[in-house]
Structure 1
Amino acid sequence: MGGVSGLQDPPRDGEGDRGAKHRGGGGTSRSLRRPEVYDARKARREMSLPEVLLWQRLKGSPLGISFRKQHPIGAYRADFYCASAKLVIEVDGISHDMGNRPGRDALRTERLGNEGYSVIRILASDVLRDPDAAADSLIAFASNPPPPSLRDGPPPRERGGS
């Protein structure tokens, strides 16, 4: 059964590749236990129509610029993210105008800005009206982002002094 000298028998039909579990793939067990990764994967399957329209134009690295959808960044999840430009893109629907959402969005933008990210908020209605123009403007920004010193966020603190 166990083969000669501790060797395993080859897998039978339908058993698959026994060694696959040792080579990885499909995420690590650690990443599967992180709730932000699970939430991001779920959000990728449940994107809104404006997000889908925008993603159809951003995927595939237009002009060599790579975008990610529903990307976790600390306690937040960006609708879209461009790592090379450290750019967070948020598609804001009508719900972003209701209740405490404007304040929460402003705080989120400030916190991400303090960590060196540029944040662009684009209205869902603008994406629905002209998804190509919306994507083109985001690609143009990502291809020539402002230097970190000019990104959103408060000015640096002065050192020393009284």
Structure 2
Amino acid sequence: MPHAPVPPQRRANARRMRKTLTDAELKLWNEFRAHRLMGLSFRRQMPIAGYIVDFACPVHRLIVEIDGSQHALASNISYDEIRTRRLQTAGWTVLRFWNGDILRDIDNVCTHIIRTTGKDLP
């Protein structure tokens, strides 16, 4: 399936965001990088279906989004729902986690991600 075009401004924003991770993104990336999480290969700020997603595991068509408090606003909830449906229509599974969940309970977040891929836990 060909990639949907990503506007240059959005692509530049993704490049900038790869360099300036939030605390939650950094904590999760440290679990993902170099295939540390059960050998899964994740990419950061990957363009998919016209969007830039936080993390993607292309082999399992899995997207992991990290949401800060701004995602609780009514206007953002609606946008996130549309975005999630579009990504699902493109054949991806989308998992969303709050920043606080990652910062306080990274082990359960990682367990949930592993289970979603269908891999067996050690």
Query: Normalised by the size of structure 1, how large is the TM-score?
Result: 0.63
CA RMSD of aligned residues (A): 1.8
Equivalent of 2:31 in 57, 61, 77: 57
User: Do residues 140 (structure 1) and 115 (structure 2) align?
Assistant: yes
What's the secondary structure of 1:64's corresponding residue? coil
Q: Which has the higher helix share?
A: 2
- Three-state SS of the structure 1 residue aligned to 2:21 is coil
Give the AA of the match of 1:40.
Answer: A
Q: Which structure shows the higher strand fraction?
A: 2
AA aligned to 2:93 is S
Equivalent residue for 2:84, pick from 101, 105, 109: 109
1:34, distance to aligned residue in structure 2 (A): 4.4
Q: Distance in 2 between matches of 1:82 and 1:124?
A: 19
Partner residue, 2:3: none
What amino acid is the match of 1:132?
D
Identity of aligned residues (%): 32
Pick aligned residue for 2:106 from 131, 135, 140: 131
Choose which of 21, 29, 48 in structure 1 pairs with 2:22: 48
CA deviations on 1:112-162 (whole Å, 9 max, x unpaired) are: 1111111111111110112232123213322x18xxxxxxxxxxxxxxxxx
- Pairwise CA distance, 1:35: 4.2
Is 2:43–2:55's contact at 8 Å kept on the other side of the alignment? yes
Structure 1: 5+ residue runs without aligned partners?
1-32, 146-162
Contact 1:89 1:121 (8 Å CA) reproduced = yes
Give the TM-score normalised by the residue count of structure 2: 0.82
> Partner letter of residue 120 of structure 1?
L
Partners in 2 of 1:58 and 1:133 — Cα distance? 14
SS at match of 1:60: helix
User: 2: distance between equivalents of 1:132 and 1:59?
Assistant: 15
Once the 2 structures are TM-superposed, how far is the Cα of residue 74 of structure 1 from its aligned partner? 3.0
Q: Give the total of aligned pairs.
A: 112
Could you say which structure has the larger radius of gyration?
Answer: 1
